[in-house]
Amino acid sequence: MNDGAVRRIGVTLGDPNGIGPEIAVKAALAEADARLLLIGDPKVVQHYAAGRAVREVDPASPPPAEPGVIDLVPVRSLPGDAFAPGRCDAASGRAMVAYTERAVTMAHAGQIDAIVGGPHHEGAVHAAGVPFSGYPSLIARLSGAQSDAVFLMLVGGGLRIVHATLHERLADALERLDTGLVVAAAQAADGALRRLGILQPRIGLFGINPHASEDGLFGDDDARVTIPAAAALRRYGLDVVGPTGADLILARDDCDAFVAAYHDQGHIPIKLLAGREATALTIGADLIFASVGHGSAPDIAGRDIADPSAMLRAVKLIATTGHPAEHARPTVTGAMT
């Protein structure tokens, strides 16, 4: 859209045996500010629609929205006997990937302006034999992007935190972490903030070790990785502060986002302040993708008690987000020292 506004949003069911289908249906019935097209298995949506009208639509030419009618782009992926709320298995993992793949195809075709992904179950995806470390890696693969250029930004509790590494063993994350990865994460953060309407973003870098290694007292990790990353980013024209110990830099009120070195550095403050209400943005890709900040909750799946607030919040966050190409700062590559 020329004005940057999102008008049509594809909402995938996530893991069909989790709470994703339930909150997607509830969101579709509640949302009035954007056109939601659910993407997933018809039998799953009809189960949670509980007699409400479900209309299968062609995403290339959907009919006008009707109050109380759930619009569905059908993706028949889940075998009939595999629909079992609360069960984690390979079939539901494959279905989640199929829903996401269709959504990405629709976004690239210009049939939707953005995607909200329902909560996934990593165990189910891995059982399906699909390499997966969260939505960013999947979106990168489906979009043909480099995996080290697409990142997770958690938003909630007044914070925005980008994760340079995500779902992996901590030792592996620290071994993989290098200056280029931190630079790429900060550049993705800068682009995402601009799409969110922040025209002069300031980004804070977390140190890897306590106190950002205390001038080498706690190792050379920050001297090798985050300090040269900060220097490179400043040369590229980004407004960067740090690296500083995560506990200290989070107290600053002049940063629009932070870059965390690994999963728990970023997740703990967001989950502490925002709980299940956080939104997970996938940034650095050529499309707008968000998900909820909570899991698929198989323990309550199928009980009609799941709260759609996080999904509605994700819809609201991306409903006026500009397209990545409209606000991206040119990516600069080269020597990092």
Say what the pLDDT of residue 33 is.
73
pLDDT surpasses 80 at 49: yes
> Tokens 């819809």 belong to which residue?
315
**CATH 3.40.718.10 correct for 151-278:** yes
Distance between first and last Cα of the chain: 40
Over residues 56-65, the mean pLDDT reads: 93
**Both tokens of residue 41?**
């298995």
- The answer, yes or no, to whether residue 328 has pLDDT greater than 60, is no
Average per-residue pLDDT for the chain:
90
Tell me if domain 1-146+284-322 and domain 151-278 are identical in fold: yes
How far is the C-alpha of 239 from the C-alpha of 203, rounded, in Å?
A: 6
| Residue range 170-176: mean pLDDT, rounded | 93
Residues 6+ apart with CB under 8 A from 161: 153, 154, 257, 258, 259, 260, 265, 266, 269, 270
Which pLDDT score is estimated for 326?
Answer: 47
- Residue 139: is its pLDDT beyond 70? yes
pLDDT for residue 34: 87
User: Which pLDDT belongs to residue 80?
Assistant: 85
**% of the chain with per-residue pLDDT over 90:** 75
* Centroid of chain to Cα 149: 14
**Res 327: pLDDT:** 45
With vertex at residue 134, the alpha carbon angle to CA 241 and CA 56, rounded to the nearest 5 degrees, is 125
CATH fit for domain 1-146+284-322, picks 3.40.718.10, 3.20.20.70, 3.40.50.300, 3.40.50.2300 = 3.40.718.10
Cα angle vertex 287, ends 45, 298, to 5°?
A: 35
Q: Is the pLDDT of residue 107 over 60?
A: yes
Q: With a cut of 60, say whether residue 325 has pLDDT above it.
A: no
Q: What average pLDDT does the segment 124-152 reach?
A: 90
Whether residue 169 has pLDDT greater than 50: yes
Q: Any idea what the Cα angle at residue 294 is, between residues 206 and 177, rounded to 5°?
A: 30
Contact partners, residue 268, CB within 8 Å, separation at least 6:
none
Note the pTM of the prediction, 2 decimals: 0.86
Residue-level pLDDT at 331: 43
**pLDDT bucket at 322, cuts 50 / 70 / 90:** low
Residues 193, 283 contacting (CB under 8 angstroms): no
Compare 329 and 312 and report the one with higher pLDDT.
312
What is each CA distance from 74 to 6, 7, 44, 279, in whole angstroms? Answer: 22, 20, 10, 25
Q: What's the average model confidence in pLDDT over 92-109?
A: 96
What is the pLDDT, as a whole number, of residue 3? 46
**pLDDT at residue 329 above 70?**
no
35 and 7 in contact (C-beta within 8 Å)? yes
Residue 334: pLDDT band with limits 50, 70, 90: very low
pLDDT score, position 323 = 59
Query: Residue 336 pLDDT more than 60?
Result: no
Residue 70 has pLDDT above 80, yes or no: yes
Taking only the tens place, the pLDDT of each residue in 260-289 is: 999 999 999 999 998 888 899 999 998 999
Q: How confident is the model at residue 211 (pLDDT cuts 50, 70, 90)?
A: confident
Could you state, in order of their start, the residue ranges of all structural domains in the chain?
1-146+284-322, 151-278
